[in-house]
Structure 1
Amino acid sequence: MLLQFNFYKLKREYILSLTFFSLSYFFSILNPLHFNPWSGFLSEFITFLSLLILLFIFYNKKLLIPKLVTPIFLIALVPIFQFFLGQVFYFQKAVLASTYILSFGIAYSMAYTICQKDKNIELSKIVMELLSITFIIAGIFSACIAIIQWLGLVHDSEYILNLVGNRPYANMAQPNHLATLLTLSLLSCLYFFEKRKNTLVLSIISVILIFCIALTQSRTTWLVSLFVLIFYWVKTKEFNFRLSKKKIFIWFLSYVLIIFSLPILNSVLSNYFNINDTSTIVERASSGYLRLQIWDQMLHAIIQKPIWGYGWNQTTAAQYAVIDRVHGHEWASSAHNIILDVIIWCGLPIGLIITGYFFYIYLTFLIKSKSSETIVATLMISAVLIHSLLEYPLYYSYFLLPVGLLCGVVLSEISNDYIKVPLFFNWILIVFSFFGIGYIFTEYNKISDNMIAANMHEMNDLKTELILPYPIPFFDMFNERAKWIALYPYSKVSSEELDQSRKMVQTYLTPYDLYKFAKLLAFNGHKEEAIRQLTILKIMYNQSYSYESLFVKEASVKKTYSVAKQ
């Protein structure tokens, strides 16, 4: 059978925690609920909950932190320092960024500790088996949802997102995210094949996964496929794989064949199903140049502010600084390249140190991975990293935290140099995490009431300051967002209030924000800066307004731009 594993060797608390971790991660991937102001909040919450469940393994066991990992915990302090230095605009952004980095380091250390605990049991195999099962199950269900979306079988379902466009994305809302998840699932099948599990079942699952990867039309997976092919061939000199070079090349060719035949298949099936037209491989290969515009903007932004950067997770602020000189037509919440992002956030000196550190770790993994566990784990890490060079999957905990666990598995077979953490630290971490995640969930659910109050305030053109129904100290960015939406643009405001509005525009570079800020600036006598907002509006969204039109109160902001305000 496929599921003949070694879990009986684990203690009960290990089995329970690892099982609940897998179930939680599974639900985070299949979650169909995506709402403003933080569309992925529920998935992120469930993923962090899965990490907290895994943390309960260490209620009576010391956590081992590899010395190679300790710089990660120092990097986690950078956003906090930037906030207190006034570089990061909002406390919420700083703390969440630090939490993500810290959680990555903890996931890294937890997997390392589990794999190091008993040298008589090959725990790295058990951890890899569990992660691979999790990826495969999540991948199979997501693939089924993607096929349902592709064929147009379900509309307005509570459990499946409606398809917008012609690229299925299951419940992950982004086709490239689905492609990366399915790639992780496919690599999990490779791992089980190497461990001599049921070949027929694995082959059937692999065919489904490859077909659905092709359905996503992701260019990222083209690069990942080539990398896997090259890396696999290089490693055959050091490791005797069960899957021969010839067979893996056949699998690669089957993927290419499906990509080329997909438009024909769509044409045939469109007579029976409600299928949208699919782009050909030539159309996909010749599109996507908006990334080049974004990278050009980011390079100019780095030149403009090379030393200290623009603050963690504030790529939009960098774009805002150069958009009227280096034109682009897409709001960049990310540089679509993790290296550029880090340098934008931290500046060249710190940014290069951070990226150099992680490159050293990754290079160590590539060179020193010798077993099927470490080789496949390194391939999985590589799939996410290649994606992160073209987009921003590491912004999402359902990719970031599993990568941390995979890194721990690889490092456990490479290094035995670690620091033992006192047991009381584990309890502090568990208790703090439990109350922290509960507090964030409770407080986040109040934000919608604040946003409703803000919209009602704006709709009625109220000139008074908005009194938030629920002031939320932690979510200060969403507090300010609600106040900004409610702000009457024809108001005399202080320089501090104007600066707060400026920060909001540098966070949300939407037509609504640009036009409203232009009105506020014009009414307060800042003509040149108001004209700049109109220029940016013209460059990015091809919407033209004269400076004089900013004083016409009938052209209500709320009537012109009622979308994307949150």
Structure 2
Amino acid sequence: MSYFKKYSQLTAGVFLVLMWVIPDHISPWNTFLQEAFACAGFVLLWGGGGVTLIPIRIYICLSLLAVISIVQYFLGLIGLGDLVFLILLSAYCCMSSSLGILSLIEQRDCVNYENISKIDIVFLTILLGALINSVVGLAQWQGVEQGMFMYPSKGRVYGNIAQPNQLATLLLMALVSLLYFDINKKIRGLWLYSASVILVFTLVATQSRTGALSITIMAVVVFFIKDFRKSLHWVSISLLLYWAIFIKWADISNFFGGSAAREFSGLSTTRYKLWEQMYAAISEKPFIGWGWLNLGAAQQNFTVNIGGAENMDHAHNLFLDLMIWFGVPVGGVIAIALIFWMVRSLHGNIIAKGNEKSVITSQCAILLILPIAVHSMLEYPFAYMYFMLPCVFFMGVVEGNTKFLKLISSNFKKLIWIFIFLSLVLSVVVGREYLKIENDFRASLLEEQFYTKDDELHQYASSSLILSQYQGLVKVLRTTPSSDIDEENVESARIISKRFPWLITMRQYYLFLLKMGKCDEAKNQELIIESFFGRFGILKAEEYSIKYNLTGICN
């Protein structure tokens, strides 16, 4: 192995651990750093290794999404920034899936412990990331003083990944990694049992209903895969330990002085109301959809009449999101394709015979995808590159043992190289622009809250080349209703309040409507705010209408 390849893979491994453990989650793009490390990690792991085989089914689905997003852009449903986001997402997913195939092929040459395959690296980084988050999570559970390396706890355990169900899914992926290393005789005995106990205990501490469902389904699948029979002893013990701790969690948590236990009572009525709103939105625009990432617009159109749900930017169900964004024809086809792929892949790997390393690796890959798939039915891990890229990587690994591969021509290979190069350039531009926008966003909030002298005002960056959605967000927030407002400002605020469905953006749109004397629209916006945020939202809107002397305009 060359020094360049060796150190690029080492750096990739570090980045792929960092994407799970960085504690910083800064608005407006809360997971920018984590997703940047995910993209950089998989690019370095790929290392320019070439693209000779492609998983044609994955490429077709991603190409279909890219094409429909271009159509939506020209129809005015989405902006340039969101179009670029989806194209970059497709590019990285294509690269990651091809990397999965090539890694499976390369793994066959790793015949001793000195050679570590790229698949080993991905499994290992998932395991390390989960164990680090377990330590942080257990510290949160015990109420340990949170330092700069820990995301502060708010009563539930979520490590540095900032969301309990996301941590639960990571922990389940780590259990699959343990299974992979156990079968390959790389982690055994005390290390294996110690790691599994830590992961299982932390999984219970997340109090995740999604985690409870996923670990049970995974254990059942493991039972039916013949090649995993030798690991059934510790897998069975882990499942029994999980449910034993789960049932007695309140007593255990109180005994050790941990944070309060959560009541497990199934799905909340809020989730059902959200899905009811989504069904109504799909019925309203069944063919072309509401636009990529425009769920806020869909929800706000129905929340006053249906109510009962918080403001959301995802439907908490992958299939609903696809149909909201892209319409029933495209979203429905991709949803059916994903179901078909998952069922066929599970069935194929359960009945697979032989103990070849590639077969076992494929079985572990589909098992690792399973908790992400279950989680995607109830929330949206697919919205984050640190889940999406590992998932697509392992989908590529699974595809590597199928007949649905295409050997590409030299001309098509050149086209892919050009596309990859342009994607990397775009990624650098997006990163540079976002870092400036993050500073602008923070400054706009501070200048609204605190009086600032003219000579101390923040110098805002010039217009963004790509991130038009975030540039528009900053522009709306820094425009005060006390200044001159025109129709263009109102329209910008309307678009931003739907693209970023937050109280601060909805409130700003409401104030702009008051300023322009659009009383009927302002009343409707007030009802939307009340539906999402209740009395608190109304009080906030009234507070700022008083601040800018807008209270008497629509009386």
TM range (shorter): 0.7 to 0.9
CA distance in 1, matches of 2:418, 2:381: 30
Q: Which residue is 2:238 aligned to? A: 251
1:132 equivalenced with 2:123 (yes/no): yes
Indicate if the aligned counterparts of 2:77 and 2:291 stay in contact, CA closer than 8 A: yes
Equivalent of residue 137 in structure 2, options 128, 131, 146: 146
Q: Which residue is 2:388 aligned to? A: 400
Q: Which residue is 2:517 aligned to? A: 525
Deviations 1:46-105 (A, max 9, x none): 1111122123242xx4432122233123323332331221111x2212211221132112
1:212 equivalenced with 2:202 (yes/no): yes
Equivalent of residue 98 in structure 1, options 87, 111, 129: 87
1:160 equivalenced with 2:140 (yes/no): no
Indicate if the aligned counterparts of 2:99 and 2:396 stay in contact, CA closer than 8 A: yes
Shift of 1:276: 2.4
Q: Which residue is 2:444 aligned to? A: 454
AA aligned opposite 1:346: F
CA distance in 1, matches of 2:474, 2:310: 24
Residues 1:360 and 1:557: Cα distance change in structure 2 (over 3 Å): farther
**Can you give the 5+ residue segments of structure 2 that lack an aligned partner in the other structure?**
353-358, 551-555
SS in structure 2 at match of 1:313: coil
Equivalent of residue 289 in structure 1, options 269, 276, 280: 269
Residues 1:381 and 1:552: Cα distance change in structure 2 (over 3 Å): closer
**Can you give the 5+ residue segments of structure 1 that lack an aligned partner in the other structure?**
1-9, 559-566
1:200 equivalenced with 2:190 (yes/no): yes
Indicate if the aligned counterparts of 1:447 and 1:470 stay in contact, CA closer than 8 A: no
Shift of 1:438: 2.5
Equivalence map 1:507-526=2 (5 Å): 507-526=499-518
Equivalent of residue 382 in structure 1, options 349, 358, 370: 370
Residues 1:286 and 1:361: Cα distance change in structure 2 (over 3 Å): closer
AA aligned opposite 2:408: K
Residues 1:17 and 1:426: Cα distance change in structure 2 (over 3 Å): farther
SS in structure 2 at match of 1:77: helix
AA aligned opposite 2:41: S
Residues 1:324 and 1:401: Cα distance change in structure 2 (over 3 Å): same
Residues 1:413 and 1:19: Cα distance change in structure 2 (over 3 Å): farther
CA distance in 1, matches of 2:13, 2:513: 51
1:33 equivalenced with 2:24 (yes/no): yes
CA distance in 2, matches of 1:467, 1:190: 53
Equivalence map 1:130-529=2 (5 Å): 130-155=121-146, 157-164=147-154, 166-197=155-186, 198-236=188-226, 239=227, 241-244=229-232, 248-270=235-257, 275-279=258-262, 283-286=263-266, 288-369=268-349, 370=352, 371-415=359-403, 417-420=405-408, 422=410, 424-425=414-415, 427-429=417-419, 431-452=421-442, 454-455=444-445, 458=448, 468-489=460-481, 493-529=485-521
SS in structure 1 at match of 2:547: coil
Shift of 1:427: 4.6
Q: Which residue is 1:562 aligned to? A: none
Indicate if the aligned counterparts of 1:135 and 1:181 stay in contact, CA closer than 8 A: yes
Indicate if the aligned counterparts of 1:301 and 1:322 stay in contact, CA closer than 8 A: yes
* Count of residue pairs the alignment pairs up: 531
CA distance in 2, matches of 1:501, 1:435: 31
Task: Tell which deviates more after alignment, 408-417 or 184-193.
Answer: 408-417
Q: Which residue is 1:6 aligned to? A: none
Deviations 1:150-178 (A, max 9, x none): 112232x11111111x2111111111111
Shift of 1:36: 1.3
Shift of 1:300: 1.2
Task: Tell which deviates more after alignment, 23-32 or 75-84.
Answer: 75-84
CA distance in 1, matches of 2:125, 2:537: 52
Deviations 1:476-535 (A, max 9, x none): 112111221122325664444322221111123333333332232233232221111111
CA distance in 2, matches of 1:484, 1:212: 42
CA distance in 1, matches of 2:395, 2:10: 20
Q: Percent identity?
A: 24
SS in structure 2 at match of 1:68: helix
CA distance in 2, matches of 1:141, 1:117: 29
Equivalent of residue 52 in structure 2, options 35, 38, 63: 63
SS in structure 2 at match of 1:249: helix
Shift of 1:39: 1.3
Indicate if the aligned counterparts of 1:388 and 1:394 stay in contact, CA closer than 8 A: yes
CA RMSD of aligned residues (A): 3.0
Q: Which residue is 1:534 aligned to? A: 526
CA distance in 2, matches of 1:19, 1:81: 41
Shift of 1:125: 9.3
Residues 1:167 and 1:528: Cα distance change in structure 2 (over 3 Å): same
Residues 1:65 and 1:538: Cα distance change in structure 2 (over 3 Å): same
Residues 1:416 and 1:475: Cα distance change in structure 2 (over 3 Å): closer
Which is helix-richer, 1 or 2? 2
Shift of 1:424: 3.8
SS in structure 2 at match of 1:285: coil
